[in-house]
Chain A
Amino acid sequence: MKDYNLTHLRELESEAIYVLREVAAQFERPALLFSGGKDSIVLVHLSRKAFHPAAFPFPLLHIDTGHNFAEAITFRDDLVKKFNARLVVGSVQESIDTGRVIEEKGINASRNVLQTITLLDTIEKYKFDAAIGGGRRDEEKARAKERFFSHRDEFGQWDPKNQRPELWNIFNGKKRMGEHFRVFPISNWTEMDVWQYILQENIELPSLYFTHEREVFFRDGIYLAKAPFMAMKSTEKAEKLRVRCRTVGDVSCTGLVLSTADNLEDIIKEIAATRVTERGGRYDDKRSEAAMEDRKKEGYF
């Protein structure tokens, strides 16, 4: 008898495509949050599939902290050109210059938290009513309770105790003026699923994900990249090592891992053997036990 089972990657893909089409059908001005990281790159790939042969009906929205890896920005611009996409940029530097936010000072200064204000301001400015993100439930315990369609009030806030129940594949995107939704099409994917999918679909990634030589320094168990805007303690020394990114955020919060993996198969082997979670290398999550929960409530990605 014929086997009518989808592989789990095909089923997850189909689910994500379904969600993306729901966004296009239920919202007037959606946007796809694009960071240059692998999850948002996978979202772009899924969006191309969902609306083929038409162009996907939403722009890419990048919240630019100004503290980027140059490779991520080059990759972003190439991708925009290649797929003829529209790009909208919200600038944290601009938020600082206009006094919307105040730059953090000191050794652990990061623009990661400031991004939330820039994101919400940009959503308001362009009247986006849905922001599609690459958040996954396996990343972090606060994200484990996130919906596919996650309602945000007019202040952009998330209320985990008052989420709409989400049943079957019926998504309720109804909202009032000024409110918006965050939508997470790859909610059910794990880090390994994302990598396997990238391999299966042969999706192009920024060179940051593969081994390269970089000046790094060691802090609290994580390697961070040396950069003009990264304050270092007098005890910290930069050294040249062969590293790669496991996730890509801005420079101040992206931990690098020692690695010689220069292809997808090797990266997957490395991840399979890894004993630390993906976000274990994220400096932004180390601030407190509930760091992610608190940021999410305020309107973080």
Chain B
Amino acid sequence: MATKDIDFSSKGYLNMQLLRFTTAGSVDDGKSTLIGRLLYDSKSLFEDQLDAVKRASVQKGSEHLNLALFTDGLRAEREQGITIDVAYRYFATPNRKFIIADTPGHIQYTRNMVTGASTANAAIILIDARNGVIEQTYRHAYIAYLLGIPHIVVCINKMDLLDYSQEVFEKIKADFNAFVAKVLPGEDLRFIPISALKGDNVVKPSQKMEWYNNSTLLETLETIPIDQDHDMIHQRFPVQYVIRPESDKYHDYRGYAGRIAGGIFHPGDDVMVLPAGIKTKIRQIDTFNGPLDEAFPPMSVTLLLDDDIDISRGNMIAGAGDLPKAASEFDSMICWMNPKPMQFNGKYALKNNSRDVRCVIDKIDFVLNINTLEQIAGRTSLAMNEIGRIHLRTTKPLFFDPYTVNRQTGSIILIDEATNETVAAGMIL
């Protein structure tokens, strides 16, 4: 691997950070070429992969190495020349390891974009410089905002076809800004003029666009600060599993295993256990490697408490003075993901953190025209790939924060109880 620039044997590699990003673009924006370029120029491809793509390029009659072929996945996709699902790719530089959620851009695949966006720290939105900001750009930008992706990088691609014109770049930037200012201001937003095909400003700075004296895409991805991407303020610990060893040595051990979803926990902290509403203190934060002085997202740990309380999976341990919302009725934005449309007043299984409940959708406030963001009232259902705002009632209360505060505690999925399929993703308001 290209890993020549990385000193794997040193402590450097052991200190790298992880950045997850998603890519959104329309069919011909050159998304696959961009990812191929990132992998190729960062020397993350192996010889056998390169050879396979070289062979295929020649076979298909390409003039140059067809970078898009690197991201070709399943046979069905190769035959149809499209991407049918989220594919995950990996590469590393001396500073960071990257996970790319590569999602297709055509309209019927909103659900895949939502899926890829759900775990991303950053989103790359691709715009074809020849077309500028089009309806699909709005859709991609809106999904990135809706899913709470903290950092957005707009890549204006195919600059080589427009003489690397600064004017074109500035115009598209202004159009995009006008759109987002209207919807959701205050995001970390960056613009980069690139040519994925020629390699300008992807990994190497462009010689053709000296007017742009800012970071390349890769430099940007390497330096985006991600330490504030989790909620570090409100202490949230969804109990995932109870550990009770059946051994004499640990006879009285009762540990609550889970992954910290928010805030920083210390031994001695006052916490409250929900739904019991009982206050206690953290006695110890336990791990295989010994107890910890503090724990923060997204660490998987085991909490031991001062008092013997009946706690099980689906409970929440939260800062005693700073509780999450507890409610069995709430509003949520929702993306429908199943070919079978939403049933109004239908009952679904619902998962939130480690909690399993049932719910009924008793109100649809509006369905969004995702290209214009117009709110359409009076609808009684949502079809696949539609996004809307609904009201839900649950059989038991959930413990959550608004999605905009905490992406873990504020997210839900709905499951069709007849087919067991995941049919919707929700962001609690």
A237 within 8 A of B: no
Q: In the assembled complex, which residues on chain A have CB atoms less than 8 Å from the CB atom of B9?
A: 265, 268-269
Question: Is the Cβ of A8 less than 8 Å from the Cβ of B73?
Answer: no
B413 within 8 A of A: yes
Interface residues on B, range: 35 or more
Q: Given A5-B226, A54-B250, A167-B411, are A11 and B3 neighbors across the interface (CB < 8 Å)?
A: no
Question: Is the Cβ of A160 less than 8 Å from the Cβ of B227?
Answer: no
Question: Is the Cβ of B74 less than 8 Å from the Cβ of A142?
Answer: yes
Question: Is the Cβ of B302 less than 8 Å from the Cβ of A25?
Answer: no
Residue pairs across A and B with CB atoms within 8 Å: the count is 198
B55 CB to closest chain A CB, in angstroms? Answer: 10
Question: Is the Cβ of B92 less than 8 Å from the Cβ of A190?
Answer: yes
Q: In the assembled complex, which residues on chain B have CB atoms less than 8 Å from the CB atom of A271?
A: 1, 8
- Map CB proximity to B onto A55-91 as digits: 1 under 8 Å, 0 otherwise: 1000000000000000000000000000000000000
Q: How far is it, in angstroms, between the C-alpha of A8 and the C-alpha of B84 when the chains are bound?
A: 29
Q: Given A7-B15, A200-B14, are A51 and B420 neighbors across the interface (CB < 8 Å)?
A: no
From A165, A268, A289, residue with most partner B Cβ within 10 Å: A165
B49 within 8 A of A: yes
Q: In the assembled complex, which residues on chain A have CB atoms less than 8 Å from the CB atom of B421?
A: 164
Q: Which segment of B138-146, B169-177, B238-246, B358-366 sits at the interface?
A: B238-246
Count chain A residues whose beta carbon lies closer than 8 angstroms to a beta carbon of B: 68
Question: Is the Cβ of A18 less than 8 Å from the Cβ of B415?
Answer: no
Q: How far is it, in angstroms, between the C-alpha of A141 and the C-alpha of B1 when the chains are bound?
A: 17
A52 within 8 A of B: yes
Question: Is the Cβ of B241 less than 8 Å from the Cβ of A25?
Answer: yes
Question: Is the Cβ of B8 less than 8 Å from the Cβ of A268?
Answer: yes
A284 CB to closest chain B CB, in angstroms? Answer: 15
Q: How far is it, in angstroms, between the C-alpha of A18 and the C-alpha of B425 when the chains are bound?
A: 20
Q: In the assembled complex, which residues on chain B have CB atoms less than 8 Å from the CB atom of A6?
A: 17-18, 298-299
Across chains A and B, which 8 residue pairs bring their CB atoms closest together, nearest first? A8-B18, A54-B245, A49-B288, A174-B420, A275-B47, A17-B300, A52-B288, A167-B118
Using a CB–CB distance below 8 Å, which chain B residues touch chain A? 1, 3-4, 6, 8-9, 13-18, 46-49, 72-76, 84-90, 92, 96-97, 99, 111-112, 114-115, 118-119, 226-227, 232, 240-241, 243-247, 249-250, 253, 257-259, 264, 286-289, 296, 298-300, 302, 313, 337, 349, 351-354, 407-408, 411-413, 415, 420-422, 425
Using a CB–CB distance below 8 Å, which chain A residues touch chain B? 3-15, 17-18, 21-22, 24-25, 48-55, 137-138, 141-142, 144-145, 160-161, 163-170, 172, 174-176, 187-188, 190, 192-193, 196, 200, 265, 268-269, 271-277, 280, 289-290, 293
